Structure 1
Amino acid sequence: MNLTVLGSKLSRYREQLAMSKEEVSAVTRIPLERLLSVEAGSQAPTGDEVLILADLYHCNFKFFISNEQLAPFEQTEILYRRHGAEFTKDDRRSVQEFLYLCETEDFLMRELNAKQLEFPAPQAFGHFKNDGIRAAEAFRRFNQHASNAVPRDVYQEIRQTGVHVFRRKLGNSNISGLFLAHPTAGKCILVNYSEDVYRQRFSAAHEFAHALFDAKSGPSITYARAANDDLVEVRANAFASRYLMPPEFLRQLPDPEQWTQANTEHWAHQLRVSCVALGISLKSEGLISALALQRIKSYRVPRELKIDPELPAQLTTHQRERKARLLEKGLSDSYVALCLDAESRGVITQGRLAEALLCDLGGLQELLSLYGRSPNGH
């Protein structure tokens, strides 16, 4: 084990989480002088200390005790150099946990030989809006949607291609989502769970476009109010709009120029999009005037009507509240099911299962009960 490499890994993780040496020492109870020596590479940590630090930084301990260099350091360092002011310390921890979930999901999918469908990367011709539209139409065909069909579970459709999608609550409500190409896990999308549930669908589709076209350009952040002249964002918006709101569906609607507030909210709800997104798509298709666009954009689908595909209607109130809290942390049903399957097959221990689900053993028992599992896995 190269102590200099180990020390560098530990210090870089700490710095990206915006934690001081004193904070880490206080949380881990590793004496400050010893922590300084370990980070400097002049002293080897004990096995327990490696496990404690790996748990704090949400990193597989095996990465620390090997000399391999692969980790999302470069991507997250670029992310924070470009947008560091946008992330609070809590948000940085959320991003780190998101990356940990991506790594864990990738590992479990490989261990379980989980099937993925390969969606070929679309060709970019340089006309950004048209490139986004063509890619969306190809992705709709890939998912065997009729020309006027509205996708329902966009998260599942994206995940089946091997792209990791996690909805995670961020404190900064100006961030809609981010995309990052992880060196081992591959393409990773974080959708801000703090956003409106229908906006999250659009954000997931938007970030998927970045995964298709911009994976080699480094990590990217999408803001709730992006600049209209950013062509990369124009392409991603065109992809999301065409994927979620097919023109054939829009053209079959009653004349939107005559819509009342109730009409607007009804059709936005049917499409599972915001009234703003619907209005922009209608205007793009030449179906409404600028005046109607402003009127439609001013409406909102009532929150209590909105449908989240990952919070089914048949859940009890308690189950719904509990699963919503899990989603805030990134723990979707698909990810939890993958982890439970891995534990039942002996791929991971129950202790590793708790780590993968971001909880302690006590919290694990509550989670198992929510999913109808007893502590012994039955």
Structure 2
Amino acid sequence: MIRESHLDRVLARKLKEAREQRGLTQEAVAQILGVSRETVALWEGGARIPSLLYLGDLAKLYGVKEESFLTQGPLEFLEDLRALLRKEEEALLDPGVRLELRRWLDFLNGYAELLELAGEAPYLKAPPKELKPKEAILTDLRQASSQAIKVREYFKLGQDALPELYTFLDNVGVLVYKVSLPQGAGVWGAFYRHPRLGYSVLVNVNATPGRQAFTLAHELAHALYHNGFPGIVCRRENLAPEEAEVERFANAWAAHFLVPGKALREGVRRLGRLDPEVALLLAHHFRVSYALLLFRLRNEGLLSEEQLKEWVQYAPQDLARRLGLNPEPYGLPQSLPNLQGLKRYPPSVLQLVRKSVEEDLISVSEAAELLNVNSYILEKELLSAGLPKEENPEVEELVQELGFVSPGRRGKVLR
């Protein structure tokens, strides 16, 4: 390790060197990290040293081992994305996407250690044996519908609209990690079979709720049918032939899983007609996007090719307004969703981190480092003592109607 008096000069030089090797401008780095270009220039000029959080993000953005910023030797580059992408594909990704993927993998490594320390079981590591297909990698589109129904039956989900998928996946043992990627980044999500932690999926929340639901179902398909791959980044371009095949299957499976054909046909029959407004009502019922619902109608032979081409031109937000529905779920966020703090993580992660701090398995600073937040935010949002209390007017309304134990029930009071 070099002498402390030289640290600022070596760090500054290597920050500039790493940025230039990645072909990034100071403006691009500033935009990705949410700081000013002047701040990046001060870091590279040695007038200011980045905080530990920013230094870690710079290392991930440039694909550099953080400790190599602080030594006299050459920069050492990370190979962590090899689990998800070939080297040539990594170079084609948007820099912000590479940063988020590295943040995700870094978190999974640290969280796997916490699971082991706390003696907790890992997340799902293989599909339930009842759902395991005969093929090692299932890509036959003809099986998408039957496999989707089989999964619904296994989890007792019926044929109608699904529960909220973020919570569902967390409950069945798939860790969901949220990111906000710029429009046009071309990546909707990713799946990773972490060797110690188990299954995790990454979801881009800079999309409509219906598109997010489709991404979650798509990644679940990878977990169930394509876990022979260590990881898959779901993107539009630069797919190898075998990746294109598994993507097509995952798309078809997700569509049938979200909107089963039998339930869709029953919905059309019940409403008694089929037009763009009815299609929007059905999309609202199944909690999917208007576009996906139209394609499912076409899949089931309920919509002609000509109707599909016409109906996709109608704005779903306008249709929602005409029906008295909230139009917001059918439009993209006006700005990038703010995923600072703890919003990236599912309930299972936050519960275990809080429990681990309370039981002194890890310190507050270690928990903050794991979740990539500062200690103040962690204390305020996750570790504050006691549960907040407030008046709930609904209690008074329901106390007369529901303040009873159902006849014949001998429930055991939980403590």
The residue that corresponds to 1:75 in the other structure is: 83
CA contact (8 A) 1:265 1:299 kept: no
Matched, 1:151 2:162: yes
Matched ranges for 1:139-288 at <5 A: 139-146=151-158, 148-171=159-182, 172-223=184-235, 230-254=244-268, 258-288=273-303
- Give, in angstroms, the shift of residue 345 of structure 1: 2.5
1:122 counterpart residue number: 132
* Counterpart residue identity of residue 170, structure 2: R
Q: 2:313 aligns with which of 266, 290, 298?
A: 298
Q: Deviations over 1:273-318 (max 9, x none)?
A: 111111111111122211222234334543955669xxxxxxxxxx
CA drift at 1:200: 1.0
Give, in whole Å, the separation in 2 of the partners of 1:19 and 1:363: 34
Determine the C-alpha separation between the residues in 2 that align with 1:186 and 1:128.
25
2:106 is aligned with 1:100: yes
Change over 3 Å in CA distance of 1:174–1:151 after alignment to 2: same
Specify the code of the residue in structure 2 equivalent to 1:167: K
Q: Matches of 1:55 and 1:224 in 2, distance apart?
A: 26
Aligned to 1:350: 364
Cα pair distance change 1:329/1:300, threshold 3 Å: farther
Shift in CA distance, 166/268, structure 1 to aligned 2, threshold 3 Å: same
Distance 1:328 1:375 in 2: 17
Does the 8 A contact of 2:139 with 2:246 survive in 1?
no
The answer as to whether partners of 1:102 and 1:164 remain within 8 angstroms in 2 is no
Q: 1:365 to 1:113 in 2, by over 3 A?
A: closer
Identify the residue that residue 315 of structure 1 maps to in structure 2. Answer: none
Q: Which amino acid aligns with 1:268?
A: A
For the Cα contact (< 8 Å) 1:180–1:220, is it kept in 2? yes
**Alignment check: 8 A CA contact 1:257 1:288 kept:** no
**Larger-gyration structure (1/2):** 2
TM-aligned CA distance change 1:324 to 1:127, over 3 Å: closer
Instruction: Give the CA RMSD over aligned residues.
Output: 4.4
- Distance apart, 1:144 and its partner CA: 0.7
- Once the two structures are TM-superposed, the CA of residue 53 in structure 1 deviates from its matched residue by 7.0
Indicate whether 1:325 and 2:339 are aligned: yes
Contact 2:170 2:346 in 1 (8 A): no
Identical aligned residues as a percent: 22
Tell me the residue number matched to 1:67: none
Displacement of 1:18 in angstroms is 4.5
SS in 2 for 1:330: coil
Which ranges in structure 1 are unaligned for 5 or more consecutive residues?
Answer: 1-13, 31-49, 62-69, 309-320
Equivalent of 2:304 in 289, 303, 308? 289
Post-superposition offset of 1:19: 9.2
Deviation at 1:215, TM superposition (A): 2.7
One-letter amino acid of the structure 2 residue matched with residue 119 of structure 1: P
Native 8 Å contact 1:265 1:301 kept in 2: yes
Deviations 1:42-62 (A, max 9, x none): xxxxxxxx999768657999x
Gap change, CA 1:92 and 1:220, over 3 Å in 2: same
Secondary structure at 1:160 match in 2:
helix
Partners in 2 of 1:209 and 1:178 — Cα distance? 11
Residue 104 of structure 1: how far off its partner (Å): 3.6
Which runs of structure 2 are paired with 1:351-370 in the superposition (5 Å)?
A: 351-368=365-382
Q: Determine helix, strand or coil for the equivalent of 2:143.
A: helix
| Normalised TM-score (structure 1) | 0.68
2:132–2:225 CA contact under 8 A, matched in 1: yes
Q: Indicate the SS of the match to 1:217.
A: coil
